[in-house]
Amino acid sequence: MTTSKSWLCEGKPKDGKDYPNAFAHQPYENFGPDCAICGLPREAIETKGKRPAAGAAPNPSGNRTGVGLAAGLITALLLALLGAGAWFVWKQLQGKSPSPIATNSPSPNSPAPPLTAAPTDRFSSGERTLFTYRGNFDRDRGIAAFAQGDYAQAITAFEKATRSSPNDPEPQLYANNARARQTGNPLTIAVVVPIDNQATSAEEILRGVADAQTQFNTAGGASQRLLEVMLVNDSNDPVQAAAVAQQLASDPNILGVIGHNSSDTTAKALPIYESAGLAMISPTSTSTVLSGKTFFRTVPSDQLAGETLADYVSNRLNIKQVAVFYDSASNYSNSIQQAFTGKFTQLGGQVPQPPIDLSSPSLDIKNSVTGAAGTVRAALLFPSTKTTSVAIAVARENAQLPAAQQMQLLGGDALYNPATLTDGGDAVKGLVLTVPWYPQNAYAQTAAQRWLGQVSWRTASSFDAAKALTAALATAIDRPAVLQALRSLNLPADQTAGEPLQFTPTGDRTEKPILVEAASGSAAPQGAKFGFQVVQ
């Protein structure tokens, strides 16, 4: 029910100030200080000390009449009906009817679809490829058959595509989806990944989801219902993340979402899922600002990661003064550097200089490294996924210093990838990172055989996210039941990627991160001298 404390936002500031992260959207009723959709503060919308009543359209003259109020309500209702109708028609064109069992609908407070809806080419259960740079003749034949509802032919073609490209997760997911459609009345979830600008990370995530989907469907699903996974591309862009989240939230067939990838996109999508009562499990977003009644994650939070590093630097390395390099524009980077600094100072350590911003266009890497090395013994590298190359440049500059002045390098999981080892070369030898997972268990061996190579932590955490949802779907058939099942989830280690899986009341995983070091004598990616191994 609307209260007198609510306020209406359309993403259009009225105070004359510039809000670069805001964007226009359908009118949305808010109850907090900031808009849950675009992040605008309440003060940016209210003018002359007055705020528009929820549900009323603004009158340019400053007055409100009964006719103006009725017109605003009618317009808002028509827009909502048209948006819902367009989404329903699109789903019908994909050959899928609404499930007669999964009948829960978004709550009355769910946001309406945006004025400019996310284009359909960002969504696929098998009707199109989202990895357009990959060529695969049989995959394309499967897509054509799937779009026509010929699921038997689609399965055959997707299986051939998998044999010709065994490490590509897309045709494997689509083959499973075709079997789910053929069986009828599938249980549907979505996985949101950044395909156009971080395709490697997207594929790593999808491999883990495909593993869990295959296990669930091979075992017969739940009550004869198999799992369908809708692939969604948000480009790691907050605006697109909000747009696709609104459409997923508006589709009652979607019972859960895996994603989003970055903490920034997750932060934009989360309020929308929250309003719709739709569970979201992120396998990669670690920022401490993320929390909510429908939010879960299968990676340790930045709080745990930062505290683990602080304890290692202070107590294991006995270093009491450090420099911090971070990305001021990143939720992830801000939260992990704050968690580290807070714990490190609590342990008696010091950060003599203010954190150095890797995203600043005026950053002088040589001067920053030389200045820091003159006063501290270690440097903490906390780039975002966008500024990892800058962090590696810092490492290279550090390696140019005389050996006695070089700083010990440490960092977060944004650097836990082969590119750090190949691009960093000798400069990253001895780099210590706090990471969520290390490939030294039964799942790692099985996944390496299936995907023809060692899988990443993103694959493992995505496998766990999908396993959590399939465990919930074994007994739940609607959104509220899925949420309830996730809150009481307790999966043993032999059903996950290696560690037991439970969630705290805040949706965090009850698992501590691992420390790894770039060292010789361990498995190294092609073109690298070093590999990551667990710190003993």
pLDDT in tens, 387-400: 999 999 999 999 99
On whether both 270 and 353 belong to a single domain, the answer is no
Residue 105 lies in a domain: no
Cβ contact 60:36 at 8 Å: no
Domain presence at residue 156 = no
Q: Is the pLDDT of residue 114 over 50?
A: no
Position 13 scores a pLDDT of 84
334 and 480 assigned to the same domain = no
| pLDDT of amino acid 24 | 61
Per-residue pLDDT, averaged over 495-502, amounts to 95
Spatial distance between the Cα atoms of 195 and 211, rounded to a whole number of angstroms = 19
Give percent of the chain above pLDDT 90: 71
pLDDT at site 88: 39
Tell me how many degrees the CA angle 223-501-492 measures, rounded to the nearest 5: 70
Residues 325/393, Cβ–Cβ less than 8 Å: no
Segment 445-472 shows an average pLDDT of 96
Q: Which residue has the higher pLDDT, 18 or 343?
A: 343
Judged against a pLDDT cut of 50, whether residue 209 lies above it is answered with yes
**Cα 172 to Cα 300: distance, rounded to the nearest angstrom:** 28
Give the C-alpha separation, 501 to 443, whole Å: 14
Query: For the chain, what percent of residues have pLDDT higher than 70?
Result: 82
Q: Is residue 65 part of a domain?
A: no
Looking at the fold, whether 399 and 489 belong to one and the same domain comes out as no
Q: For the residues 168-183, what does the mean pLDDT come to?
A: 98
| Predicted local confidence at residue 16, as pLDDT | 77
Distances from the Cα of 170 to the Cα of 163, 181, 221, 287, 464, angstroms = 12, 16, 20, 28, 18
Instruction: Examine the domain organization and report whether 337 and 281 are in the same domain.
Output: no
Cα radius of gyration (the chain): 24
For the cut 50, the answer to whether the pLDDT of residue 138 exceeds it is yes
If pLDDT is split at 50, 70 and 90, which confidence band does 33 have? low
Q: What is the mean pLDDT of residues 320-330?
A: 96
Q: Is the pLDDT of residue 223 over 80?
A: yes
- Domain carrying residue 311: 302-435+515-534
Give the integer Cα–Cα distance in Å for 297 and 83: 30
Task: Check residue 480 and give its pLDDT.
Answer: 97
Using DSSP's 3-state secondary structure scheme, residue 481 falls into helix
What pLDDT, on the 0 to 100 scale, is given for residue 37? Answer: 57
Alpha carbon distance 260, 273 (integer Å): 12
**CA–CA separation, 371 vs 348, rounded Å?**
22
Instruction: Tell whether 449 and 411 lie within a shared domain.
Output: no
CATH number (domain holding residue 338): 3.40.50.2300
Q: What is the pLDDT of residue 310?
A: 98
pLDDT in tens, 400-419: 999 999 999 999 999 998 89
Higher per-residue confidence, 191 vs 105: 191
Tally of domains within the chain: 2
- Average pLDDT score over residue span 471-499: 96
User: What's the chain's average pLDDT?
Assistant: 85
> Is the distance from CB of 331 to CB of 263 less than 8 angstroms?
yes
Q: Do residues 426 and 458 both lie within one domain?
A: no
99 has pLDDT over 80: no
**Structural domain contains residue 110:** no
Taking 80 as the threshold, does the pLDDT of residue 260 lie above it? yes
User: For residue 528, how many C-alpha atoms fall within 13 Å in the half-sphere facing its CB?
Assistant: 23
Residues 361 and 427 grouped into a single domain = yes
On whether residue 491 sits in a domain, the answer given is yes
pTM for the full predicted model:
0.74
CB crowding 299-325: b at 16 or more within 10 Å, else e? bbbbbbbbbbbbebbbeeeebebbbbb
Ranges 96-110, 197-211, 306-320: which has the least confidence = 96-110
Are 231 and 333 members of one domain?
A: no
Does 290 lie in the same domain as 344?
A: no
> Is 89 within a domain?
no
What pLDDT, on a 0 to 100 scale, did the predictor assign at position 128?
Answer: 97
419 and 306, same structural domain? yes
> Does the residue 31 lie in any domain?
no
Mean pLDDT throughout 328-345?
95
**Tokens 């359209």 map to which residue?**
57
Same-domain status, 405 and 271 = no
DSSP of 434-477:
EES--S-SHHHHHHHHHHTSPPPHHHHHHHHHHHHHHHHHTT--
**pLDDT attached to residue 321:** 97
Nearest by Cα to 435 from 535, 317, 335, 319: 535
Q: Are residues 428 and 481 in the same domain?
A: no
Mean pLDDT in residue range 197-208 = 94
Residue 5 confidence class, pLDDT cut points 50, 70, 90 = low
> Which one has a higher pLDDT value, 485 or 17?
485
**Residue bearing the bigger pLDDT, 270 or 511:** 270
Report d(CA 138, CA 464) in Å as an integer: 30
pLDDT for the residue numbered 526? 80
Does residue 88 form part of some domain?
Answer: no
Written as six digits, the tokens of 518 are: 């770039």
